Amino acid sequence: MQNLGQVQVNKFTTIIGIVEEAPLKIKRRLLELGLTAGQKVKVLRRSLAGGVLLIEVRGYALSLRRESAKWIEVAK
Amino acid sequence: MKNIVLVGNPNTGKTTLFNSLTRGHEHVGNWHGVTVEEKVGQFQFENQKFSVVDLPGIYSLSPLSFEEKVAVEYLNRASAELVVNICDASNLGRNLYLTLSLIERGLNVLLVVNQIDKRPICKVDYGKLERLLGVRVVHLNADNKKDIEGLKGEITKLLGAGKPSATPPHGCADLPADCASSFNQAKKLLQERGVPYEEQAYYAIKLLEDDEEAKAKFKVEMAFGQCEKIAGWRYDKIDKILAQTCTKNQRVYGKSKLDKIFLNRALALPIFLGLLCLVFYLTFFSFGGWLSDCLSGFIELVFNPAKTFIANVYGTQSWVYSLFADALFGGVGAIVSFLPQVALLFFFLSLLEDSGYLARVAFVFDDLLSRVGLSGKGVYTLLMGFGCSTTAVLTARNMEDKNSKIKTALLTPYMSCSAKFPIYAVLGGVFFGANNLFVIVGLYLLGVAVAILLSWVLEKSVLKSKAQSFILEFPPYRMISPKRTLSVLWQNVRLFLSRVGTLIVAMNVVVWVLSNFTITFKFVGNSGVSMLETLGRILAPIFTPLGFASWGLVSALLAGLVAKEVIVSSVAMFAGGQTLASALFTAGSAVYLGSGGAVLSYLAFCLLYAPCLASVGVLIKEIGGKWTAIGIAIQLAVAYAVSFVVYTTSLALSAFGWWATLISLFALAVIVASGVLIAKRIKGKRLCPYSSKCKKSCNKKR
């Protein structure tokens, strides 16, 4: 199992899904923003302390906390 | 009159379109969540009147933050005849998700594709898009006058045709097979609860997504757990539509090479601090200072002959002369000369906002702010606080949970607002001269430091926040147009002048009356004690430990509760015939400060002591009376403590010299730190056996 928070910078990977344990509100927001199963994502950069990620999904740039990214399961 | 509502994702140009349609001047910026409340405007086209409502940006009809709630609640409550859904042409895929939700809701939708950037990422076949979506599509640039006229025509035509059929064009007939049975089940549940047929499909989908509000509204307890499938279904539809209508190039919306510099691990912080210093330097000193000097020269040129004229007619001892010379020319003149600086500050803030740089600042600071229970998004509120706390407090609605919102709102008044700057410039300038630059920068930093510390204390005690998600879309970097520059400058000049012309003049006259008439309403002149002096003398002993106990300074603080600008104008007024420089250092004068330590202490107190009346009003509206009262109490306590420390330190410095003071301060810090550590240990030991959420560090002590 690998989540988006663990992915190397600048490598494309595919989303498997949002895990069951994710809080519903966050889960819905991630889905609305296009982080749906089968989508390709790439981590563009991390913040200095690593708490925030900048990712590329569906052709746009989105930042989110690693705490939220850990709910997103991705392919190894 | 027909009602139209503007809906769309954050930062797609809703407010720009709103301003274009209604010729309004609502605040816009290249940031998510500039608009945090519904704004109403009107326009006329071919003798028909239309009312337009601008809503905060939303991603879907399930809100997460407070400003999104405002928008969704409005859509659920009000019946707009037409929903104008704005999409950004460069990020069409993500934007269409909301469009589909609106269509499912059965709303009368007009899709406006706004082309903000000259080189769009997508090339769209709009005719085909219209056919596939089944709603009218208009594509335009929200800043272009001709496009707007076209849109108005389109709106008139659509509203003239009446409401389309109740069955939404996309319906929910194409739901995937594994959702269909749950969908029918949900629909049945809704039918049993008497939900009208037109709304069943929409709410059934909401139930499949486990929407908390829909569940509560219809008292449904069952969890369907299908939000992933529903989102997948909508995006599949979007992908199919885009595959047929849109040719994309390789560019990524919001990704920029500039980020290599601005988000560089080593450079990001120094660049931000450097930019901030540059802004302050340009605004308050070099360019802004020069403009301000020019203006005050001009004001004297106008006011001096007027003063001489009044003196000739009424004599310098009359109350008429005192009213004009002290209250109006002296007091108001002292503030008007800061017009260029205030306008410049707001201009630079809008530059930060419009360029798209602010989202990067939020990204950089989220690490730090998450530790004190805030979100990177709070950077926006706090930076706006440098302009005006009253408007900044509203933007705390960007937060997702209540405690973070209260905290962000409470911290905003610690950001030194533009109305406080004249106090530092006038009082500090008299004593510190050219070194005043460091004093001012120090005061701004002091405000920020106190705010962060306080946030940490609140987070650990009464306002523990739930984890914020900090899900923030990155806007592309954009150039600010000359037209927008002028409009920002003009708006702020206008606001400033109207504020000075009404509230500040009125306050100055009130302060003048109170300080020039005795309790029996006799003109004070050179002898006698005014009402304000009596009050000031009663309160003065409280401030003796802080180094400023003259009645003028104390009553200026009281007047400053209404508006901070009044502090400077009151001090200038109380100086009377003397120049400020001599009045501040003449023992026995109404505004005697005496030493540099006392000046610093007074400035720190002005920075921290309480929000102005307008801010208090907004705070009560946003976070309630209880928290506003607590916030003000904290501010007064913090201001008193900080000023006390500043003044005592300055006394110690002058009495014992640098080294002894430093050593004793260090000793004090050690004592306080060890006290805190001991308290923590005792508390940790006591809490540990009960707490199931015990952290690692706590385990060690067990």
Name the minimum distance, in Å, from the CA of B280 to any CA of chain A. 26
- Beta-carbon separation of B470 and A63 below 8 A: yes
**Closest residue to A67, CB basis, from B97, B231, B467:** B467
Comparing CA positions, the residue from B86, B98, B109 lying closest to residue B18 is: B86
Angle at which helix B613-656 crosses helix B596-608, to 10 degrees, equals 160
Q: Kindly tell me if the per-residue pLDDT of B592 is higher than 80.
A: yes
Comparing CA positions, the residue from B296, B193, B183 lying closest to residue B229 is: B183
Long-range contacts of B258-264 (CB under 8 A, 24+ apart): B258/B477, B259/A45, B259/A54, B259/B360, B262/B357, B262/B360, B263/A45, B263/A54, B263/B360, B263/B363, B263/B364
Q: Kindly tell me if the per-residue pLDDT of A14 is higher than 60.
A: yes
Residue B696: pLDDT band (50, 70, 90) is very low
| Dmax (CA) of chain A | 29
**Closest residue to B93, CB basis, from A18, A34, A47:** A34
Long-range contacts of B150-159 (CB under 8 A, 24+ apart): B151/B21, B151/B112, B152/B21, B152/B43, B152/B45, B153/B45, B153/B46, B154/B110, B155/B4, B155/B45, B155/B50, B155/B82, B155/B84, B155/B110, B156/B45, B156/B46, B156/B48, B158/B82, B158/B108, B158/B110, B159/B2, B159/B81, B159/B82
User: B452 versus B657: which is more confidently predicted?
Assistant: B452
* Chains A & B: contacts with CB separation below 8 Å: 126
Model pLDDT for residues B243-273, shown as the tens digit of each residue: 999 888 788 888 889 999 999 888 999 999 8
For residues A7-26, average pLDDT: 91
Query: Which of A26-40, B96-110, B273-287, B582-596 shows the lowest per-residue confidence on average (mean pLDDT)?
Result: B582-596
Please state, as a whole number, how many other Cβ atoms lie within 10 Å of the Cβ of residue B633. 11
Q: Kindly tell me if the per-residue pLDDT of B373 is higher than 80.
A: yes
Answer yes or no: are the C-beta atoms of B124 and B113 closer than 8 Å.
yes
Residue A61 with chain B: CB contacts under 8 Å: 252-255, 473-474
Residue A39: pLDDT band (50, 70, 90) is very high
Q: Kindly tell me if the per-residue pLDDT of B119 is higher than 80.
A: no
- Alpha helices, H only, B176-331: 177-192, 197-208, 212-217, 227-245, 259-262, 268-280, 286-314, 319-322
pLDDT for B443: 93
pLDDT for B242: 92
pLDDT for A76: 80
Dihedral class, residue A50 (left if φ above 0, else alpha if ψ from -120 to 50, else beta): left
Q: Kindly tell me if the per-residue pLDDT of B601 is higher than 80.
A: yes
Distance separating alpha carbons of residues B695 and B274, to the nearest angstrom: 38
Distance separating alpha carbons of residues B294 and B370, to the nearest angstrom: 45
Distance separating alpha carbons of residues B593 and B406, to the nearest angstrom: 36
pLDDT for B238: 93
Residue B363 with chain A: CB contacts under 8 Å: 47, 52, 54, 63
For residue A63, list its beta bridge partners. Answer: A54, B472
Q: Concatenated DSSP letters for B475-509?
A: PPP-PPPHHHHHHHHHHHHHHHHHHIIIIIHHHHH
Distance separating alpha carbons of residues B445 and A31, to the nearest angstrom: 40
How does DSSP classify residue B125? Answer: -
Q: What percent of chain B has pLDDT over 90?
A: 35
ipTM exceeding cut-off 0.85 for this assembly: yes
User: B178 versus B68: which is more confidently predicted?
Assistant: B68
Residue A30 is part of which domain span? 2-74
Q: Kindly tell me if the per-residue pLDDT of B702 is higher than 50.
A: no
Residue B364 with chain A: CB contacts under 8 Å: 47-48
Residue A28 with chain B: CB contacts under 8 Å: 60, 62, 209, 227, 231
pLDDT for A74: 94
What is the CATH architecture of B1-250? 3-Layer(aba) Sandwich (3.40)
Highest average pLDDT, of B154-163, B343-352, B652-661, comes from: B343-352
Give me B312's structure tokens.
């000739």
**Cα radius of gyration (chain A):** 11
CATH number reported for the structural domain that contains residue A28 in this entry? 2.30.30.90
**Closest residue to B253, CB basis, from A54, A61, A68:** A61
pLDDT for B437: 83
Model pLDDT for residues B132-160, shown as the tens digit of each residue: 988 899 999 888 889 999 999 999 988 87
Distance separating alpha carbons of residues B473 and B12, to the nearest angstrom: 11
Give residue limits of the domains in chain B: 1-250, 268-656, 658-701
pLDDT for B646: 92
Model pLDDT for residues B515-534, shown as the tens digit of each residue: 888 887 778 766 678 888 88
For residues B595-612, average pLDDT: 93
Report the relative pairing of strands A60-65 and B472-473 from DSSP bridges. antiparallel
Model pLDDT for residues B25-80, shown as the tens digit of each residue: 888 887 888 888 889 999 998 888 999 999 999 999 999 899 999 999 999 887 78
For residues B174-191, average pLDDT: 87
Answer yes or no: are the C-beta atoms of B26 and B17 closer than 8 Å.
no
Q: For chain A, what is the domain count?
A: 1
The three-point CA angle B52-B77-B237 to 5° equals 80
Model pLDDT for residues B428-467, shown as the tens digit of each residue: 888 888 888 889 889 999 999 999 999 999 988 888 887 7
Give me B524's structure tokens.
């004070």
Nearest CA in chain B to A33: B94
For residues B2-27, average pLDDT: 90
Residue B97 with chain A: CB contacts under 8 Å: 32, 34
- Beta-carbon separation of B232 and A58 below 8 A: no
Q: Kindly tell me if the per-residue pLDDT of A17 is higher than 90.
A: yes
pLDDT for B416: 93
- Beta-carbon separation of B248 and A59 below 8 A: yes
- Beta-carbon separation of B364 and A48 below 8 A: yes
Residue B105: pLDDT band (50, 70, 90) is confident
- Beta-carbon separation of A37 and B254 below 8 A: no
